[in-house]
Amino acid sequence: MAVNTQESSKPLEIIVIPYITPGHLVPLSEIACLFASRQEQVIIITTTEKAPVVENTIKHCKASAHSISVHAIPFPYKEVGLPDGFRLEHAKDMETASKYYHGLGLMQSAMQEFMRTRSPDCIIADKFFPWTSAFAETLNIPRIVFDPCFMFRKALQDALLNPNSPHLTVKSDYEPFVITDLPHPITLTRSKLPANTYAMLLKLQREAELKSYGVVINSMSELESEYSEYYANKLDCKVFHVGPASLIHENVDSKVDRSHNSVVSKEQVLSWLDSKNRNSVLYISFGSVCELHDEQLMEIACALESSNCDFIWVVRGKTNKDDDSTWQPKDFNINGKGMILKGWAPQLLILQHPSTGAFLTHCGSNSVLEAVIEGVPLVTWPLIADQFCNEMLVTQVLGIGVEVGAEDWRFFSDLDRKIIKREEIEKAVRMVMDGGDVVQEMRKKTKELGDKAISAVKTGGSSHQNLTNLIHELKQMRDKCVWH
């Protein structure tokens, strides 16, 4: 679409409202930087506790004198019965998570009051804030939905709403069935689908999304164009692929400083990786929310010992004061072979290093995308949220990963979950790390996708053009005072 150069040069004022878990907060903050780098004015609303994370993410954008800022609102801890500073990532059960979600609901009036004082031209809000669709209508401005999921997940979710979907007729949660309505036949089981409570939340989000102007997605159209077209055509919905937004971090410092503070310095990580052979290191991380219990950690440790590969393992929920013997085999020797990080890791830095040969991942959408950018094949181990769908995209559509064998969707990663045995873990790890013909083909496919991702965000690339088109459409609506 050609952009009208005669349109108003006045910058848009855009309010951005990210959800507060890192997998939502960081990519939308990075997308906010994309708008600011186009000389639009951006204000990000978040909680007081999350403001430093956002500030870290946008630091280099602000340093370039772009108009981007943070408006922090205190979280009502006392009102919902949570201790000060509590993070949703700390929740171990549904009752605690519900308290936090209720607290975000109590912040709604303060967010609305602030937006009324600003009179923005557009609201870009995470899907977990469906109320922003109706509120944007009261301001007579468009709301854009940010969904950190891939379009593949959204298309699959829509296909499962079909009253004739085969998942409604299988006799067991573990009986495989095939969805044939999509561009590719997708095999799954009911055990990999969200719990009913979560599914209802997704339904509310979808209804609010259909009242919005469109959806902004943190990936490039080349990754899943067939699914974007399927979804856009079926739901008459505008889809704007504008990512991968993490590519705004162009140098080492920017990649390390991104979001949370790392528990290890860039010098330590790079020095260790530099000492390893190309494609010899397995990187292991289950993201910022998922926490595995000791029995499962022990199986991973034993598998690493048996496979004898070098590794960097991010272990969430452990500190240096904990007794490691509860989750490591006796005489577990990591000297020279492994690096265990108990806290936040510089993931972008690790994935881009030539020594990193594979990524054992929970299949969070950001982790998958970051691996794709760097051409790193995956060992897939989904746990919650959209992660099983992402595994299907990686293994059944893109062909760039190997499954460990996870079967059960659970709200919380340590709740009544089947233990994946060391033999299964070792088998999947060896398959990806030992470098046979199948893995070489995976590396080739992943590298091709990574090259497309980098090209997409460059001037003239698909994501760059999609962002240009979206800004143009928003300015047209503003200048003509047209919405609805």
Residues 213 and 308 in one domain: no
Average pLDDT for 227-248: 91
Asked if pLDDT for residue 483 goes beyond 60, the answer is no
Query: Catalytic one among 60, 66, 121, 126?
Result: 126
CATH number of the domain to which 358 belongs: 3.40.50.2000
Residues 428 and 464 in one domain: no
Query: Catalytic one among 24, 241, 353, 362?
Result: 24
Amino acid at 76: P
126 classed as catalytic: yes
In this prediction, residue 412 has a pLDDT band, given cuts at 50, 70 and 90, of low
Average pLDDT for 124-138: 94
Average pLDDT for 114-132: 95
| 358 DSSP β-pair partners | 282
184 classed as catalytic: no
483 occurs within a structural domain: no
- What pLDDT is stored for residue 5 in this prediction? 44
In this prediction, residue 6 has a pLDDT band, given cuts at 50, 70 and 90, of very low
Radius of gyration of the chain (CA): 22
In this prediction, residue 407 has a pLDDT band, given cuts at 50, 70 and 90, of very high
322 occurs within a structural domain: yes
461 occurs within a structural domain: yes
Domain boundaries, position 287: 260-452
- What pLDDT is stored for residue 256 in this prediction? 76
Query: Mapping DSSP to helix (H, G, I), strand (E, B) and coil, where does residue 275 land?
Result: coil
As a whole number, the mean pLDDT across the chain is 90
Residues 360 and 464 in one domain: no
2 occurs within a structural domain: no
Helix (H) or strand (E) holding 282: strand 281-285
Residues 465 and 443 in one domain: no
Average pLDDT for 48-56: 94
In this prediction, residue 200 has a pLDDT band, given cuts at 50, 70 and 90, of low
Asked if pLDDT for residue 185 goes beyond 90, the answer is yes
Asked if pLDDT for residue 414 goes beyond 60, the answer is no
Residues 355 and 447 in one domain: yes
Residues 209 and 301 in one domain: no
Residues 339 and 239 in one domain: no
Residues 126 and 212 in one domain: yes
Token digits of residue 75: 């979280």
Asked if pLDDT for residue 261 goes beyond 80, the answer is no
274 occurs within a structural domain: yes
Asked if pLDDT for residue 120 goes beyond 60, the answer is yes
422 occurs within a structural domain: yes
Residues 389 and 317 in one domain: yes
CA-CA distance, 354 to 336, in Å (whole number)? 18
Average pLDDT for 29-37: 97
Average pLDDT for 138-165: 91
- What pLDDT is stored for residue 289 in this prediction? 78
CA-CA distance, 220 to 243, in Å (whole number)? 5
Residues 283 and 343 in one domain: yes
The single residue listed with the structure tokens 């952009």 is 3
Give 37 or 435, the one with higher predicted confidence: 37
As a whole-number percent, the residues of the chain with pLDDT over 70 amount to 94
Residues 142 and 287 in one domain: no
Provide the domain count of the chain. 2
382 occurs within a structural domain: yes
In this prediction, residue 198 has a pLDDT band, given cuts at 50, 70 and 90, of low
Residues 198 and 320 in one domain: no
Q: Are 445 and 376 in contact (CB under 8 A)?
A: no
158 occurs within a structural domain: no
